[in-house]
């Protein structure tokens, strides 16, 4: 069995420390968590994730993550309580580190010092967008210079930085989203997450959707926008560790509308692979009659596309007689073999 290199144990502090009630958010509905996290709950969560692990095949990195709120916006004593509850597990070696999700408004030297003393190694900021109008409509106003200042402090204190984006918010469009992507790249995070905006019950966007003042992006529109963003991040050497929301029962019970797909990341990545194949054919001086692509075995499903649509679409675009894939277990790049007879 292949060894998992990384295990993240999520602990939700839903809405705690949040300065806003953002129009897109209802953490209790999304996470299925309403009870306030305490030591017993933390202990139960850690046991659930760690006790069933194969002790001879442990993930090389095990990390507890506080998600769902703005951790550094939580009252100081509550932060200390939560962090101290985790320390025995860190000191015993059961987990190696902690990560927190928070807001740029609540980053200062004192808060970062507290995190450092309690084995926090990663700080994630919910940016969502860098466009002022989009953030205002989302009920989440935060100037870019505030974000920049928070990021500078995080970099200076040598935390791993993660940033989160949400394309498709009210007032957003492709141009604004790509500008946000460019801004995030300039902030040099270690990784990013991209969460397409969905209509969730009991949120401001749900009310806007019912009133007809908000229309969620279509799945196709979102795939295209996120595809471009992922390519930009990869070219900048920034990992995209999450695209789309996990289809857990609590989310699905609250989901109303919007560009949701249980395999959204797969759809984005297969679209990227399709464009690579198309560009390779277009680079030829003459359109061939048939083509064969040699593709890495581990990525063959991405090159095929959903229901093999990549092959049928490429065949149609160029009027090919045939198109096929040849798996290569050794090479890790794409090669094109064209036939003109």
Question: Mean pLDDT, the chain, as a whole number?
Answer: 90
Of 272 and 30, which is predicted with more confidence?
A: 272
CATH superfamily of 6-222+241-259: Aldolase class I (3.20.20.70)
Q: Which sign does the torsion angle of CA 306, 247, 134, 186 carry?
A: negative
Q: Give ∠ CA 52-6-184 in degrees, rounded to 5.
A: 140
Contact 223, 132 (CB under 8 A): no
Instruction: With CA atoms as reference, report the closest residue to 195 among 160, 137, 241.
Output: 241
Q: What are the pLDDT digits (tens) for 186-197?
A: 999 999 999 999
Residue 35 in this model has a pLDDT that exceeds 70: no
> Can you tell me the distance from the alpha carbon of 341 to that of 339, in angstroms, rounded to the nearest whole number?
6
Contact 176, 129 (CB under 8 A): yes
Neighbours of 44 (CB within 10 A): 11
Instruction: Write out the chain in H/E/C secondary structure.
Output: CCCCCEEEEEEECCCCCCCCCCCCCCHHHHHCCCCCCCHHHHHHHHHHHHCCCCCCCCCCEEEEEEECCCHHHCCHHHHHHHHHHHHHHHHCCCCCEEEEEECHHHCCHHHHHHHHHCCEEEEEEEEECCCHHHHHHCCCCCCHHHHHHHHHHHHHCCCEEEEEECCCCCCCCHHHHHHHHHHHHHCCCCEEEECCCCEECCCHHHHHHHHCCCCCCCHHHHHHHHHHHHHHHHHCCCEEEEECCCCCHHHHHHEEECCCCCCHHHHHHHHHHHHHHHHHHHCCCCCCCEEEEEEEHHHHHHHHCHHHHHHHHHHHHHCCCEEEEEEECCCCCCEEEEECC
Residue 283 in this model has a pLDDT that exceeds 60: yes
> Can you tell me the distance from the alpha carbon of 159 to that of 109, in angstroms, rounded to the nearest whole number?
12
Residue 80 in this model has a pLDDT that exceeds 60: yes
Question: 175, exposed or middle or buried, with CB in 10 Å at 0-12, 13-18, 19+?
Answer: exposed
Of 35 and 186, which is predicted with more confidence?
A: 186
- Structural domain spans, the chain: 6-222+241-259, 269-339
Q: What are the pLDDT digits (tens) for 88-112?
A: 999 999 999 999 999 999 999 999 9
Give me the phi and psi of 198, to 5 degrees please: -120, 160
- Confidence category of residue 175, pLDDT binned at 50, 70, 90: very high
Residue 144 in this model has a pLDDT that exceeds 60: yes
Report, as an integer, the average pLDDT of 217-232: 98
Note the CATH architecture for domain 269-339: 2-Layer Sandwich (3.30)
> Can you tell me the distance from the alpha carbon of 193 to that of 196, in angstroms, rounded to the nearest whole number?
10
Instruction: With CA atoms as reference, report the closest residue to 44 among 89, 84, 74, 99.
Output: 89
């Amino acid at each position: 069995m292949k060894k998992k290199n990384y295990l993240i144990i999520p602990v939700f502090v839903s809405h705690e420390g949040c300065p806003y009630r953002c129009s897109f958010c209802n953490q209790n509905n999304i996470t299925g968590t309403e009870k306030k996290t305490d030591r017993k709950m933390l202990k139960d969560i850690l046991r659930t994730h760690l006790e069933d692990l194969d002790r001879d095949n442990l993930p090389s990195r095990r990390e507890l993550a506080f998600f769902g709120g703005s951790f550094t916006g939580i009252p100081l004593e509550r932060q200390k309580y939560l962090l101290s509850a985790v320390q025995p597990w860190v000191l015993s070696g059961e987990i190696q580190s902690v990560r927190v999700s928070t807001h740029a408004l609540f980053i200062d030297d004192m808060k970062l010092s507290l995190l450092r003393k309690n084995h926090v190694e990663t700080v994630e900021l919910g940016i969502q967008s860098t466009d002022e109008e989009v953030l205002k409509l989302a009920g989440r106003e935060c100037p870019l210079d505030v974000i920049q200042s928070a990021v500078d402090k995080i970099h200076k204190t040598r935390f791993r930085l993660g940033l989160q984006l949400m394309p498709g918010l009210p007032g957003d469009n492709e141009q604004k989203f790509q500008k946000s992507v460019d801004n995030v790249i300039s902030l040099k995070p270690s990784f990013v997450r991209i969460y397409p905006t969905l209509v969730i019950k009991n949120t401001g966007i749900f009310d806007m959707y019912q009133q007809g003042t908000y229309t969620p992006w279509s799945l196709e529109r979102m795939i295209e926008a996120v595809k471009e963003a992922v390519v930009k991040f990869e070219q900048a050497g920034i990992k995209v560790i999450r695209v789309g929301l996990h289809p857990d029962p609590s989310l699905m019970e609250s989901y109303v509308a919007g560009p949701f797909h249980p395999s959204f990341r797969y759809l984005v990545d297969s679209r990227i692979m399709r464009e690579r194949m198309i560009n390779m054919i277009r680079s030829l001086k003459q359109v061939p009659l048939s083509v064969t692509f040699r593709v890495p075995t581990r990525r063959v499903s991405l090159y095929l596309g959903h229901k093999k649509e990549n092959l049928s679409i490429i065949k149609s675009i160029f009027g090919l007689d045939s198109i096929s894939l040849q798996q290569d277990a050794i090479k890790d790049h794409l090669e094109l073999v064209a036939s003109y007879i």
